[in-house]
Amino acid sequence: MELINEGNKLKLTDIDCLVILVKAKRLFTIAASYLLFQNASSEEELFLIDELDKKIKIKSQPRSKKKSICIIEGLSFEKEELKGMLKQMKKLFACNGNIVDNEEHGLIIQLQGDVKNKVKKFLMTTYKIKDDKICIFE
């Protein structure tokens, strides 16, 4: 992590701050799931534990004859964190995208084009998400 020197003040870049927040949230999630599992007394509480351990699903959906949309669901980030992630992906993959609030799946990122493998590599390198947590559907 590099610090940018602006005058006499040291400032973290936005990406570094986002990575720190994601790592802190992951640690909190692990600790919360451990505590819930130790004290789980009902099926409803065990369901909540399972929700914390969801997989990220990446799939491509045809839009027209040659065009498609890449859909990323199961990301357990806040909306502000997703906005930063989307901004990075749009710039890196040279495509457009948006965040959709779905009743069934929660917050979903949609990107133009078939960028499934690029998204997987991006999540694994930038956010240190393990390979077994990401599922790509053809």
pLDDT(67) > 60: yes
Per-residue pLDDT reduced to its tens digit, 79-90 = 899 999 999 999
pLDDT(45) > 60: no
Cα separation, 83 vs 66, in Å, equals: 27
Q: List the strands of the sheet with 68-73, edge to edge.
A: 97-102, 106-112, 68-73, 56-62, 134-137
Domain 55-137 in this protein, CATH class: alpha beta
pLDDT(2) > 50: no
Q: How far is CA 82 from CA 35, 37, 45, in A?
A: 27, 28, 27
Tell me the CA end-to-end span of the chain in Å, nearest whole number.
36
Boundaries of every domain in the chain: 3-50, 55-137
What is the phi/psi pair of residue 118, to 5°?
A: -65, -40
pTM over 0.85: no
Quote the pLDDT of residue 8.
Answer: 52
Cross-strand partners of 112: 69
